Amino acid sequence: MGLKRKDLLAISDLSVEDIELILTTAESLKEVGGRDIKKVPALRGKTVVNLFFEPSTRTRTSFELAAKRLSADVINFSPSTSSVVKGETLIDTARNIESMQADIIVLRHSSPGAAEHLARFVRSSVINAGDGWHAHPTQALLDLYTIKEKKGKVEGLTVVIVGDVAHSRVARSNIAGLHKLGAEVRIVAPPTMLPLSVERLGAKVFYRFEDALIGADVIMMLRLQRERLGRALLPSIREYANLFCLTSDRLKLAKPEAIVMHPGPLNRGIEISPEVADGPAAVILDQVSNGVSVRMALMYLLSGTA
Amino acid sequence: MHEASSKHTQTVCIQGGTVIDPGHMNGRADVLIQNGKILEVGYPLKHPVHQDPTVTILDASGWIVAPGLVDLHCHLREPGFEYKETIETGAASAVAGGFTSICCMPNTQPVNDNAAITQFMLTKGQQAGKARVFPIGAITKNSDGEELANIGELVEAGCVAISDDGRPVMNSLVMRRALEYAKAFGIPVVDHCEDLHLTDGGCMNEGVVSTELGMPGIPDASEEVMVARNLALAGLTGVTVHLAHLSTARSVELVRHAKAQGLPVSAEVCPHHFSITEEAVRGYKANAKMNPPLRTDEDVQALKQGLIDGTIDVIATDHAPHALQEKQLEFDTAPFGIVGFETALPLTLRLVQEGILSLEQALDKLTRAPAQLFHLPVGSLKPGSLADLVVFDPEEEWVVDPEQFYSKSRNTPFGGMTVKGKVKMTFVDGRLVYDAR
C-alpha cells in the first residue's frame, strides 16, 4: 500500500502511520544501496523532475540518486533566477514540465508555500524539497529515520535543536515531526533567532545552550547562515560561536550516548567543533545516506505503484 | 465639477423606503430629487408628486435610503496601472458598492504630485460619470519621502488631502514639515503608519500563523510606532493627522488616549480588518495579503470597540485592485492589497447584524463622518444637498462572486462568502448611475 495522497508538502500533511510507513519502507529499501547493482525497477518508466529554484547540491543529488535507484528517468531543472526576474511564473514553468509527463516534481523554492501553490496547479505529485523558511519535510523524515536507527525509537527522547530556528525550514519540519512522534523538543538560540510564539509549534524554549543540553538524547545543530549577520540578529560570528558552538565540553552535558546531527553543510568551528563533527557521537554522514533511502521510499509510496 | 446634463431637470421621487441620514433623520420617508439636488425629504412629502406627471417614482419599499457612501481611501491605478483598474472601472465598481464619492491615493505612475495629474484624474472621473472622484495628492515629490510636493498647487488643482500612502513618510522631520505646511491649506494629512525597518520584508501578520507558515512577519509594532510618532507630531503642529487603516489593538488604544487629550487626529478602519483574521492567509492565499496585514481576533475585537466608542471615525475600503497574474504569484512576491468597493457595505452591515453598531452609526462611518473629515460637500440628504444617494436592501442575502465585480480586478478573500445587504440603486448628482432592481 502507498500513501493515499498526491503530494508531500509538509510534515503536518502526514499521520503518524504515514510517517511509520515511510520509515519502514525506507528501511527495506536501504539495502539497495549496499548492492553491487544499486537499482530496483520500482519506478521504471516514471519521470521525476528536480525543479530547483535555489542552489542546492546535496538535496538535489540525494533526490536524483534516490530516483535513479528506483529506475526512474530524472531531469534536473535549475532555473538560475527566480521566476519573477525570469518573467515566467513558477506555475507556468511547472506546467511546462508537467506537459512533458512528469510524474513527480521535486521543488525547491525560496518562497514559503511555493510547493503548496504549485501542487494546486499541477496533476503531478509534488514533493517539497524546501520552501523558504517554511518546510523541508524530507529532511525531517531522514532525521527521524536516523534517530530511530540509532536510538531504536523517537518517542520519549529529548531532542535539542540549536540555532536560527526563525529562518529554518529544517527546524520547523523537525519540530513538527518530532512532536508528532512523541519526542520532547527543545530549541535554543539567541532570542533574535526564534520566531514569535514558537512554543505553539510544540517546543520548549531555552536561551542558554548549556541549560538545553542537560539530559539530551539528540542534539540537532542548524547551520548558521552568515548573511543573517547584517540584519541585527547577531553581534558577530565570534560571539555566536562562543555561545552556541557544540564543543566536546558542552557535549558532555548531554546524555553519554547522545547523538549529534547536522543537516549540512557544516560551518566547522562556528556551530560545531571539528572534534564533535568527526567524533563518535556524530551521525551526520548517516543522515546523508539515509536521506537517499527515505527519498526512495517516499517517491515509491507517492508514485501509486506501491 | 460634474457637467450639467439634461437628466438633471428630471424630478425623481424615491418612495416607500426608510431614510437614514446620519445625525438628521432616521425613519420612513420619501426623497424628492430635482436638478441634481435634494428637494425634499419627508413623509408625506409636501410636493404633490402623484399629481405631478414630471415626477418619476421609484419604489424603495423595505429598503434603506441613505447618503451615497464616501470612501476616503482607494486606489484607482490610473495613470500607470490601467491593467489593474482605470478611473472608469473603479468608479463603476464604487457605485455598484453604493459609493458616490471616492478619494484616490496618489501612488499612480506618475505619482499624483502635481496639478497635471490631479486634473487628469478629475477629468477622467467626470468622463466616467459614476462616483465623484476626489484625488489625494502626494506629501513628497514622487512620494520619495524627501522633498515636499507642491502642496499648494495640488490643493488648488482639487486635491482634498495629502498622503504618501503605501510609501509611508519614514523621516519624521519631513512629516513634521508636511503637517506644518498643510496647515495653511486646511487639508488633512493622511499617513499609512508603518515603520519599514520593523517590517523588514514581512508579508503577513507576525504571530502564530506566520511562524507556522514560515512567512516573514510584519509586527504590530511596525504600525504602532508610527501611530505614536504621528500622534506626537499632531500634538507638536496642531494639524490633523488622519491615520489610515488601523489594524492593531494597541493602535486603537493609542488613538483613544490621544483623542482623550484633545489631539487633532482621526482614524479609519477597513472592512477586512474587522471581518477576518490572519487565519485567512493559511494555504498561502495571496488574496488575503494586504498591508497592513490581517491581524488576530484580539485586534478585530479592539477595532470593533474603537468603532463603537468613536476612537475610529470612519470606515474606508483601501480598494486596491491587482491583476490575476500578480495575485497568482507565490505569496511573498504577490502584491499587497484587495478590492473593496463592492463588499464594504455588506461587511459593515455585519457589525449591525452582530449588534455592534446601530445601522445609523454604521452608515455615519461611511457617509457623514468621512465627508466631514475631508471637507467634502457630500454625505447628507438635507434639502439643497447634492443628490448622491444609495438605496439598499438590508435583508437580501447574496454570495460574493468576484467574477461579477464591476472592478477590473477580482482580488478579494471574500469570494464565496454569504453576506446580507445588497445595493439596489445608486444616485450621483440625481442621476441613477447604478440600478440593480
Q: How confident is the model over A224-239, as pLDDT tens digits?
A: 987 767 777 888 999 9
What's the pTM? 0.94
Residue A133, CA distances (Å) to A23, A80, A221 in order: 24, 20, 16
DSSP B389-426: EEEEEEEEEEE--GGG-SSS----TTTT-EEEEEEEEE
How far A172 CA lies from chain B's nearest CA (Å)?
8
| Residue carrying C-alpha cell 491615520 | B243
Nearest CB to A196 within list B217, B325, B328: B217
* A264 vs B: CB within 8 A: no
Say whether pLDDT at A106 is over 90. yes
pLDDT band at A78; cut points 50, 70, 90: confident
Closest alpha carbon within chain B to A114: B330
Partners of A219 in beta bridges: A160, A260
| Residue carrying C-alpha cell 504618501 | B164
* B51 vs A: CB within 8 A: no
Query: Residue A85 has what pLDDT?
Result: 55
Looking at every residue in chain A, the average pLDDT score rounds to 93
- Domains in chain B with CATH codes: 6-65+385-435 (2.30.40.10), 68-373 (3.20.20.140)
Same fold yes or no, A11-135+289-302 and A137-287 = yes
* B222 vs A: CB within 8 A: no
Strands B37-42 and B55-59, bridge-based pairing: unpaired
Query: Residue B1 has what pLDDT?
Result: 42
* B332 vs A: CB within 8 A: yes
Nearest CB to A116 within list B207, B283, B333: B283
Mutate to test the interface with A, among B198, B211, B287 (most CBs of A within 10 A): B211
Cβ neighbours around B431 below 10 Å, total:
20
Query: Residue B3 has what pLDDT?
Result: 43
Cβ neighbours around A98 below 10 Å, total:
17
Separation of alpha carbons B93 and B130, rounded Å: 9
For residue A267, what is the DSSP state?
Answer: -
The catalytic site residues of B sit at: 318
Cβ neighbours around B320 below 10 Å, total:
26
* A227 vs B: CB within 8 A: no
* B216 vs A: CB within 8 A: yes
Cβ–Cβ under 8 Å, residues B68 and B101: yes
pLDDT band at A90; cut points 50, 70, 90: confident
Q: Where are the domains of chain A?
A: 11-135+289-302, 137-287
Domain topology for A137-287: Rossmann fold (3.40.50)
Separation of alpha carbons A91 and A84, rounded Å: 11
Peptide bond into B292 cis (omega under 30): yes
Please list every residue in chain B whose beta carbon sits closer than 8 Å to the beta carbon of residue A112: 213-215, 284, 331-332
Nearest CB to A198 within list B211, B329, B333: B211
- Asked if B211's CB is within 8 angstroms of A113's CB, the reply is no
Peptide bond into B79 cis (omega under 30): yes
Say whether pLDDT at A86 is over 60. no
3-state secondary structure of B12: strand
* B61 vs A: CB within 8 A: no
Amino acid at B186: G
Mutate to test the interface with A, among B200, B289, B330, B333 (most CBs of A within 10 A): B330
Nearest CB to A201 within list B211, B284, B328: B211
Query: Residue A80 has what pLDDT?
Result: 64
Element (H, E) at A211: helix A209-213
Query: Residue B4 has what pLDDT?
Result: 42
* A117 vs B: CB within 8 A: yes
How far B289 CA lies from chain A's nearest CA (Å)?
13
Say whether pLDDT at A100 is over 70. yes
- Asked if B329's CB is within 8 angstroms of A113's CB, the reply is no
- Enumerate residue ranges in chain B where pLDDT < 50: 1-7
- Asked if B217's CB is within 8 angstroms of A132's CB, the reply is no
Query: In chain A, pLDDT over 90 holds for what percent of residues?
Result: 79
Nearest CB to A112 within list B206, B208, B215: B215
How far A170 CA lies from chain B's nearest CA (Å)?
11
* A193 vs B: CB within 8 A: no
ipTM for this prediction: 0.91
Short-list B261, B205, B252, B202, CA closest to B227: B252
Higher pLDDT, A53 or A155: A155
> Would the CA dihedral through B294, B299, B305, B310 be positive or negative?
negative
Closest alpha carbon within chain A to B329: A89
Task: Tell me the mean pLDDT in the region A141-148.
Answer: 98
Count of residues making up chain A = 306
Separation of alpha carbons A293 and A66, rounded Å: 7
* B335 vs A: CB within 8 A: no
Please list every residue in chain B whose beta carbon sits closer than 8 Å to the beta carbon of residue A198: 211
Query: Residue A57 has what pLDDT?
Result: 87
Separation of alpha carbons A32 and A39, rounded Å: 6
Say whether pLDDT at A83 is over 70. no
pLDDT band at A87; cut points 50, 70, 90: low
Please, what's the b/e burial string for B184-206 (b: 16 or more CB within 10 A of its CB; e: otherwise)?
Answer: eeebbbbbbbbbeebbeebbbbb
For A11-135+289-302, which CATH class?
alpha beta
The C-alpha cell at A173 is: 519540519
- Asked if B214's CB is within 8 angstroms of A172's CB, the reply is yes
**DSSP H helical segments within B33-114, as ranges?**
87-96
Residues whose CB is less than 8 angstroms from the CB of residue B332 and which lie 6 or more positions away in sequence, other chains included:
A111, A112, A113, A132, B203, B215, B216
pLDDT band at A154; cut points 50, 70, 90: very high
Query: Residue A304 has what pLDDT?
Result: 79
pLDDT band at A33; cut points 50, 70, 90: confident
Task: Tell me the mean pLDDT in the region A134-161.
Answer: 98
- Asked if A134's CB is within 8 angstroms of B208's CB, the reply is no
- Write out pLDDT tens, residues A244-283: 999 999 999 999 999 999 999 999 999 999 999 999 999 9
Query: Residue A91 has what pLDDT?
Result: 84
